[in-house]
Structure 1
Amino acid sequence: MTDALPTGSSAPTVLRIILGKRLKELREAAGIRLDAAAKALSVNHLTIRRMENAQVGLKVPYVKELLRFYDVGEAEVAEFIAMAERANAPGWWYPFRDALPDWFRAYVSLENDAEVIRVYEPHYVTGLLQTRDYARAVIGAGFPHEPEESLEQRVDLRLRRQELLERDDAPTLWVVLEEAALRREVGGPAVMRGQLDRLAEAVELPNVTLRIVPLAAGPHPGTGGHVTYFRFRERELQDIVYTEVGLTSAVYLDQRPDVVTHLEALTRVSLLAADHVPDPRTYLGNLRKEFDR
């Protein structure tokens, strides 16, 4: 993979990323160059590269021809084709595609298949733990000119994403929130009370950990902005870090030095938060009283 996942309507599923990597491994193991593989299909070499980088869907006839060209056994070909057909199937979020910015489509797929999700959020409560009222206020502020119907679709998508925390194979979610994110009044006192109650419930879940960085903690490695780290059950897929760039784009990093740097920063910030706020439940209860008005 490159250091940025493809986005847009063709944003890949995790399975498609893994199969693309496997195609590349099989080609290289067979000692076949990109241009030779392309010639076997009568296509441009960029088509092969895009397949390997999960930038396009995996056309089954192309995949069959490539695997046979790479001298892959029939049993493995059949298994690969079955997985390619699964990888090409639309994700559950497909009906919400109009509500997904191009640069965020890959994020939803990664989130859906992650085993571990670690989030640092300096501005708002992270999306996976937002209430409907809070989410609507945040999304409405971010899309002030959005028609009501489109706004509700974005809210519905955010709430649907949260269902992964209730699955039998739910990921481990580790969230570090800045105190400013919790003190920023979103939607009014009643909405904030409901949101703080939601967080208090979430920290009781066995797969959710919450850390809070108070303003008094001072500067730290996470002050650059929002970061999400993904680790996957499929060990063929390396860890990935997502960072937002401005209001209209994001970067997906999978090169080890980049991932390690961000993971170390997340760990240091989490330890700092635990030192300053060892009991998030008590903190949330006290803060909730400040919105009793």
Structure 2
Amino acid sequence: MHNRRRPTLRLRRLAAEMRRRREESGLTQDEVFERTSINQATLYRVENALSRPQVRTLRALLDLYGVNSERAAYLLTLLRESDQRGWLETIDADLPERLTTYVELEDEARSVLNYESSFVPGLLQTEGYARAIIRGVLPEATLAEVDSRVEVRLRRQEVLTRETPIRLWAIVGEGALRHRVGGNEVMREQMLRLTEVANKPNITLQVLPFEAGAHPGMLGSFHVLNFGQVELPDVVYIDSMAGDLFLDGPADIDRYTVIFEYLRAIALSPEDSVRLITKLAEGG
């Protein structure tokens, strides 16, 4: 169970930008107080998403930091919408904070590039496969914890069928398709699901075959999320044994985008990928 409600994604975005704006302006919290009469406690809460600032407080800070009118309007919109909560609030799933952040970002993304070396991409998993994967990678999880994680994973997939669906380009390593997760029947069901979704107009699926040899994807799986807005830069998400990592620097975005383009070039075509997946579904 959650001990307290986490700040919404919009409030966290607002807090992060306000903290960055102050630091870029070269002002200390004491100097902000001297110029605006906004005390350190209030500023601390604003910059750490501990409370929603009042409109006049936010406007005073935006003026002090010299934020242009277009960006200020966007940040004021974030403030107005900062109480909006996503569907995760309706599920009793005690997820790690960074995973929760990823799910919230994915829910707002316009498109995602996803390379997976060891698993079928989460947005394309069947319930049986998802359950087997979660039980396998989290051997100490209780049945209830597994159930809640499965529920979250299946709910995530609604981004593919909503009114304005997310655009997914997924590349999956051949080894992930041949690994017998959950047994033959679970894998057969999963392969059939992949052949079905590969025909969706908003989904492109490619398989990276063993024959591709050494490639930069061997360093691990990653996601590149795009939000279709200048105000929201792309985000790279990396899930590893060492912990989850978010990168949003231009150099990082460029590097992972180039890696994805390279993998896309050496992977099987979407048509050949479906042929291979169909063969695997038939026991080939």
Q: Which residue of 2 aligns with 1:43?
A: 40
Q: Following the alignment from structure 2 to structure 1, what is the Cα–Cα distance between the partners of residues 73 and 263?
A: 47
TM norm structure 1: 0.82
Q: Against the structure 1 CA distance between its residues 9 and 185, is the aligned structure 2 distance closer, same or farther, given a 3 Å change threshold?
A: farther
TM norm structure 2: 0.84
Q: CA RMSD in A?
A: 3.2
Q: Which residue of 2 aligns with 1:65?
A: 57
**Of 129-138 and 141-150, the range deviating more from structure 2:** 141-150
Q: Against the structure 1 CA distance between its residues 16 and 233, is the aligned structure 2 distance closer, same or farther, given a 3 Å change threshold?
A: farther
Q: Against the structure 1 CA distance between its residues 25 and 11, is the aligned structure 2 distance closer, same or farther, given a 3 Å change threshold?
A: closer
1:284 aligns with 2:281: no
1:225 aligns with 2:217: no
2:148 to 147, 153, 171: 153
Gaps of 5+ in 1: 1-7
Q: Against the structure 1 CA distance between its residues 199 and 38, is the aligned structure 2 distance closer, same or farther, given a 3 Å change threshold?
A: farther
Per-residue CA distance 1:268-287 (angstroms, 9 max, x = gap): 01110036x75222111111
Q: Which residue of 1 aligns with 2:87?
A: 92
Percentage identity across paired residues of the two chains: 30
Q: Against the structure 1 CA distance between its residues 69 and 217, is the aligned structure 2 distance closer, same or farther, given a 3 Å change threshold?
A: closer
**Of 15-24 and 176-185, the range deviating more from structure 2:** 15-24
Q: Against the structure 1 CA distance between its residues 278 and 102, is the aligned structure 2 distance closer, same or farther, given a 3 Å change threshold?
A: same
1:270 aligns with 2:264: yes
1:119 to 114, 119, 132: 114
Alpha-carbon offset, residue 41 of structure 1: 1.7
Q: Which amino acid aligns with 1:177?
A: V
Q: Which amino acid aligns with 2:184?
A: P
Work out the number of aligned pairs and report it.
274
Q: Following the alignment from structure 1 to structure 2, what is the Cα–Cα distance between the partners of residues 109 and 282?
A: 34
Per-residue CA distance 1:87-146 (angstroms, 9 max, x = gap): 233321123363412221111111111111011100010110000000000001122222
Alpha-carbon offset, residue 23 of structure 1: 4.3
Q: Which amino acid aligns with 2:57?
A: E
Q: Following the alignment from structure 2 to structure 1, what is the Cα–Cα distance between the partners of residues 33 and 184?
A: 61
Per-residue CA distance 1:63-96 (angstroms, 9 max, x = gap): 53231354499xx989855531422333211233
**Structure 1 outlier segments of 4+, above 4 Å:** 8-12, 20-29, 69-73, 76-82
